[in-house]
Structure 1
Amino acid sequence: MPREMHLVGYCCATPTWHNNGSWRHFESDGVDALNPERYETIARILEHGKFDGMFLVDVLTLFDTYAGTFEANLREPGQTWLLEPMQLLSAIARVTKNLGLAATMSTSLYHPYHIARAFATLDHISGGRAGWNVVTSSVDTEAQNFGMDQLPKATERYDRADEVLEAAQGLWNSWDDGALILDRKNGVYADPSKVHYVNYEGKYVKTRGPLTTPRSPQTSPVIMQAGSSERGRQFAGRWAEMIFTLHTDKKNMQDFLADIKGRVSNSGRDPSHCAVLPAVDIVIGETESIAREKADYINSLVSPRLGIAEISNSVGVDLSTYPVDEPLEGLDLKQGPKGILDVILQGAKGKTLWDAGRAWGISQMTPQLIGTPTMIADYMQDYFEANACDGFIVCPSVSPTAYSQFVASVVPLLQKRGIYRKDYTGRTFRENLRS
């Protein structure tokens, strides 16, 4: 069977996503960010386009790194406040049938028992479509919301994450297949011999088990991960079934994919069972000139000041006193995750802080694909067939219209070229991701 591209929709339960000014656009649904129907509509669009899934980003703090206040992040909202994703996905599950539903949850701040139970429940509610975007958290203010003074060092966070995954896997498997008997005549609901204690104890976490939630359709959620540091890549090689990554050129993407696939193989897993999906932002027009006019207008709504504040949040450094007309390079950027830091420095090369803030505000340094449907499809096919990726995380310039345009105009081209599914073939998120 020919290799087919995988697509996952990027989503935040907040007014804007990558483009921090998109909520001001006349086509945007950003002002309805508290309305669950907004996200149900997006999910229906993605499912109509046969996307593998949608992925909800989450953070656990209202950022106040910039100037020591959250004023900049609320006056001009970026990815600031967020609804809790698991509850939102439970609602979305009821209006979709095939779309995978992935949520972010931190291994540094949540106990494995809570994580395992939450995702097993979502998997039951959705009929086997749950996915977990594993993060270790990155800024101390998240930890402070959970009663800690600061996060452990990155290496220790990943060591804990390994234990959380081990414990969670034990909990998900604490109910055997066939444990539910459901024999009304003889009065036997479940076979106790097929439910087991876990008694997991590591350096950082321990749990007794068994899970109070029976085995779900997938047993465990699809594991998604975005770490690009050396330790993050080690973690991905062992656990990840989908990688969300940011790269700005084909060679970097090819090198990253080859490295990840090698690590997956060295962990004794099938490399085809880990999809590497770089993010792209999409602006589509009937002609290239129309697309560029649309992009120019959308990008004109961006706030560079908010972009600088968002960079501050990402790297854990207050940039409010740094001269905006001097280069960002050379600044001591200390706390944020290395993958994000690398993307920022790569995208900010030769730029002043103000220009870097504008670039971040436009797409968070993610490649912005601007053009006709054919141009967009050509780019995606080129990178896919060059083994630079297994597909893409698709982020709309304006929600939901950019998704609707992509599904209506680009998806049919990819299908016609034989590199994208015409229908779902699997029953679960994992089955579709591996097809």
Structure 2
Amino acid sequence: MSRQMKFVAFLMAGPTCHHHGMWRHPQTENRFLDPAFWETLARTLEAGRFDGFFFADALSFYNETIMARGGQMSLLDPVPLVAMMARATSRIGLGVTISTSFQQPYAIARVLSSLDALTAGRIAWNIVTSAIDQEAQFFGEETLLPRSERYDRAEEVLKVCLDLWTGWADGALVCDKKSGHFIDEAKMRRTEIAGQHVGARGVFTVPPSPQRHPVIMQAGSSPRGRDFAASYAELVFTLQHSLPDMQKFYVEMKGRVDKAGRNPDDCAILVSVDPIVGETQSIAREKQAYINDLVDPRLAIPFMSAHTGLDLSQYPIDKPISDIPAEAGSRGSFDVILQATKASNLTLGEAAKHFAISELCPQVVGTPENVADELQGFFENEGCDGFIVTPTEMPGSFEAFTRSVVPILQKRGLFRKEYPGSTLRETIRA
């Protein structure tokens, strides 16, 4: 079978995803507190044979402007949402974001492994390290660890989780009523890890799922983040502005995976796109202009500041963004912004407005055939292995995409018609 695309939907339990005008669109339902809304959305994505969906997360309101104006935020913890949506589906992958900066690895391993067991192997963990001090303050700390130490801790947390998850050998759970033998202790291994930041001692209590442990997903953009992803990630989520940027990242990331001693095919690179589908090209362009005009300009600078961990309000909005220093915060995120804006030499204000629209990712706009053509071009020209699909209205963006674009890609042999197996790992590696 020829190489096929992968699709993962980007979700947040709040008013926006990437696009900060989304909640203001007249067709957006804003039913983010309604269980039935999320269950129906999960069924829609599964009907479209998406590999999975994942919830990005924010542990705090980034700032008062974002809170007041309906910017990017999480109003709910993604873990119970995913558990609920799992009950409405049977094959689609289910991703949750959990930061490694605040919780102990045993707590992370236990909740994710429980979800993975109860969904028969459909869970992914999107690993983040957090970028703003407000999140640390909820956990009793004044500030985050320095940027380099955050990845040191993240690597320790992940290694402990992996050690816990692999403590059960096949056949360890006996559950033999006649003999009275429940667990074969000879097939159980203790975890004994004492790291600089975290550790764990004991026998892990959660039996493994059919995929053994959750799929690892990561979106680091800095050199350290890319090294981390190269060593561990099975799905890499990246924000790239154009096909040349995608191709450059793709080649560089696959090279890092190979250098880390892994098969590059075991790490899928997914680029973010915002599809806007219309009956005609002109209708689609009108829809794009309409939704983009709904972005509140008062959100732009505060949102980009929150995303990068930099206070950009201290700079004039007409200052070229390339002239702004970025020693603190999320260096990788700021580098992505610089890369996406360098060709146009955008000012801070211009870049922030674009960032609040799509985080500088491509808006793929046109008829279903136009959108399919553009995605096919990104894919076949080695820009990616697939796409993180982000909405501009909810749930309409996903309904239009699954009902009109997906069938075209299936007819072209570029996307599956059925799931290849029962676990997420089987799906992404098919």
TM-score range, shorter chain: over 0.9
Q: What secondary structure, in the 3-state scheme, does the structure 1 residue paired with 2:54 have?
A: strand
Query: Which residue of the partner structure matches residue 53 of structure 1?
Result: 52
Structure 1 window deviating more from structure 2 (310-319 vs 179-188): it is: 310-319
Distance in 1 (alpha carbons) for counterparts of 2:151 and 2:172 = 33
Identity fraction in percent: 47
Query: Which amino acid is the alignment partner of residue 9 of structure 2?
Result: G
TM-score when scaled to structure 1? 0.95
Q: What secondary structure, in the 3-state scheme, does the structure 1 residue paired with 2:230 have?
A: helix
Structure 1 window deviating more from structure 2 (163-172 vs 340-349): it is: 340-349
Q: Are the aligned partners of 2:217 and 2:235 in contact in 1 as well (CA < 8 Å)?
A: yes
Q: Are the aligned partners of 1:175 and 1:196 in contact in 2 as well (CA < 8 Å)?
A: yes
The counterpart of 1:396, out of the listed 387, 391, 401, is 391
The total of aligned residue pairs comes to 428
Structure 1 window deviating more from structure 2 (5-14 vs 354-363): it is: 354-363
Structure 2 CA distance for partners of 1:323 and 1:405, relative to 1, 3 Å: same
| Post-superposition offset of 1:344 | 2.2
The counterpart of 1:255, out of the listed 248, 272, 285, is 248
| Post-superposition offset of 1:157 | 1.4
Q: Are the aligned partners of 1:233 and 1:260 in contact in 2 as well (CA < 8 Å)?
A: yes
Q: Are the aligned partners of 1:139 and 1:335 in contact in 2 as well (CA < 8 Å)?
A: no
Query: Which residue of the partner structure matches residue 243 of structure 1?
Result: 236
Q: Are the aligned partners of 1:101 and 1:129 in contact in 2 as well (CA < 8 Å)?
A: yes
Alignment of 1:188-199 (within 5 A): 188-199=181-192
Q: Are the aligned partners of 1:304 and 1:355 in contact in 2 as well (CA < 8 Å)?
A: no
Distance in 1 (alpha carbons) for counterparts of 2:39 and 2:206 = 26
| Post-superposition offset of 1:63 | 1.3
| Post-superposition offset of 1:81 | 3.5
Query: Which residue of the partner structure matches residue 270 of structure 1?
Result: 263
Query: Which residue of the partner structure matches residue 62 of structure 1?
Result: 61
| Post-superposition offset of 1:41 | 1.9
Gaps of 5+ in 1: 65-69
| Post-superposition offset of 1:415 | 0.6
The counterpart of 1:156, out of the listed 149, 153, 163, is 149
Say yes or no: does 1:330 pair with 2:323.
yes
Structure 2 CA distance for partners of 1:266 and 1:318, relative to 1, 3 Å: closer
Residue-by-residue CA offset, 1:169-218 (whole Å, 9 max, x unaligned)? 11001122111111112222211222221111222211002112122222
Structure 2 CA distance for partners of 1:183 and 1:433, relative to 1, 3 Å: same
Query: Which residue of the partner structure matches residue 104 of structure 1?
Result: 97
Query: Which residue of the partner structure matches residue 201 of structure 1?
Result: 194
Query: Which residue of the partner structure matches residue 67 of structure 1?
Result: none
Distance in 2 (alpha carbons) for counterparts of 1:321 and 1:23 = 28
Distance in 1 (alpha carbons) for counterparts of 2:103 and 2:35 = 25
The counterpart of 1:94, out of the listed 87, 96, 105, is 87
Distance in 2 (alpha carbons) for counterparts of 1:345 and 1:189 = 57
| Post-superposition offset of 1:267 | 2.3
Q: Are the aligned partners of 2:57 and 2:73 in contact in 1 as well (CA < 8 Å)?
A: no
Query: Which amino acid is the alignment partner of residue 416 of structure 1?
Result: K
Q: Are the aligned partners of 1:174 and 1:209 in contact in 2 as well (CA < 8 Å)?
A: no
| Post-superposition offset of 1:370 | 1.1
Alignment of 1:4-19 (within 5 A): 4-19=4-19
Query: Which residue of the partner structure matches residue 127 of structure 1?
Result: 120
Say yes or no: does 1:34 pair with 2:29.
no
Query: Which amino acid is the alignment partner of residue 410 of structure 1?
Result: V
| Post-superposition offset of 1:266 | 2.3
Query: Which residue of the partner structure matches residue 419 of structure 2?
Result: 424
Query: Which residue of the partner structure matches residue 138 of structure 1?
Result: 131
Gaps of 5+ in 2: none
Query: Which amino acid is the alignment partner of residue 4 of structure 1?
Result: Q
| Post-superposition offset of 1:298 | 0.8
Distance in 1 (alpha carbons) for counterparts of 2:221 and 2:60 = 22
Query: Which residue of the partner structure matches residue 68 of structure 2?
Result: 75
Structure 2 CA distance for partners of 1:317 and 1:267, relative to 1, 3 Å: closer
Q: What secondary structure, in the 3-state scheme, does the structure 1 residue paired with 2:322 have?
A: coil
Query: Which amino acid is the alignment partner of residue 412 of structure 2?
Result: R
Structure 2 CA distance for partners of 1:347 and 1:304, relative to 1, 3 Å: farther
Residue-by-residue CA offset, 1:314-359 (whole Å, 9 max, x unaligned)? 2233334543344333223343322211222234443333332321
Query: Which amino acid is the alignment partner of residue 16 of structure 2?
Result: T
Structure 1 window deviating more from structure 2 (358-367 vs 345-354): it is: 345-354
Q: What secondary structure, in the 3-state scheme, does the structure 1 residue paired with 2:275 have?
A: strand
Query: Which residue of the partner structure matches residue 179 of structure 1?
Result: 172
Distance in 1 (alpha carbons) for counterparts of 2:48 and 2:377 = 20
Query: Which residue of the partner structure matches residue 43 of structure 1?
Result: 42
Query: Which residue of the partner structure matches residue 405 of structure 1?
Result: 400
| Post-superposition offset of 1:234 | 1.0
Distance in 1 (alpha carbons) for counterparts of 2:155 and 2:311 = 31
Query: Which residue of the partner structure matches residue 368 of structure 2?
Result: 373
Q: What secondary structure, in the 3-state scheme, does the structure 1 residue paired with 2:236 have?
A: strand
Q: Are the aligned partners of 2:309 and 2:330 in contact in 1 as well (CA < 8 Å)?
A: no
Residue-by-residue CA offset, 1:394-434 (whole Å, 9 max, x unaligned)? 01111111111111111011111111101101110000000
Q: Are the aligned partners of 2:13 and 2:32 in contact in 1 as well (CA < 8 Å)?
A: yes
Query: Which residue of the partner structure matches residue 299 of structure 2?
Result: 306
| Post-superposition offset of 1:275 | 0.5
Distance in 1 (alpha carbons) for counterparts of 2:231 and 2:364 = 32
Q: Are the aligned partners of 1:58 and 1:82 in contact in 2 as well (CA < 8 Å)?
A: no
Q: Give the alignment's Cα RMSD to 1 decimal.
A: 1.5
Distance in 2 (alpha carbons) for counterparts of 1:199 and 1:142 = 30
TM-score when scaled to structure 2? 0.96
Query: Which amino acid is the alignment partner of residue 109 of structure 2?
Result: A
Distance in 2 (alpha carbons) for counterparts of 1:164 and 1:322 = 37
Q: Are the aligned partners of 1:5 and 1:391 in contact in 2 as well (CA < 8 Å)?
A: yes
Structure 1 window deviating more from structure 2 (245-254 vs 273-282): it is: 245-254
